[in-house]
Amino acid sequence: MGEQQKLLDAVAIERILKRMAFEMLETHKATGNLALVGIHTRGVYLARRLQKHIDAFEGFKPLIGEIDITLYRDDWTQLSSQPVVKTTHIPFPIEGKNIVLVDDVLFTGRTIRSALDAVMDFGRPARIELAVLVDRGHRELPIQSDYTGFCAHTKHRQMINVLLTEVDKVDHDKVILE
């Protein structure tokens, strides 16, 4: 394992998520059409946290769903001979909704392209936006986030690891650059 640098701690992540939730409320003043869809795995947990912050600010819980993009990836056959497919659960009709896809790290843009394809299989939303905790650059596709928590200037070979208490068995959330 290479050298590690902590980019964000739990306090910074919480502050960023609150800011992002507030920005979403500023954009979507009429919150009734707002839905958050987390991309597996960490995007699901970040979407749930954003939902809690929006509820705390506005007294409104946006609809929430989760999506697995494994079989939509253009490289899924290279991932594993038997890729692990997680749950996709969107318990509401997406027609006419303002969907905010939520993910932990935006890198090449290929995950988001896959998520767009997956969402469109459920119908035609009014709008699709993107919220990411960390944007690390190095895009291969013309995709950008509407709500960005933190921009990390990285080298292509470096990795960003988002560790969340709900999924990574850590005591505190953190974002690490390796």
Q: Which domains does the chain have, with CATH numbers?
A: 5-26+33-70+85-177 (3.40.50.2020)
pTM of the model: 0.94
Cβ burial, residue 14 (10 Å; 0-12/13-18/19+) = middle
Does residue 123 surpass a pLDDT of 80? yes
What is the model's pLDDT at position 79? Answer: 53
| Among the listed residues 126, 121, 122, 130, the one whose alpha carbon sits nearest the alpha carbon of residue 101 | 130
What are the residues whose beta carbons fall under 8 Å from the beta carbon of 168, sequence distance 6 or more?
Answer: none
pLDDT band per the 50, 70, 90 thresholds, residue 39: very high
What is the model's pLDDT at position 80? Answer: 57
Asked which of 21-30, 46-55, 76-85 is least confident by mean pLDDT, the reply is: 76-85
Average pLDDT over residues 51-79: 86
Output 72 or 137, whichever has higher pLDDT: 137
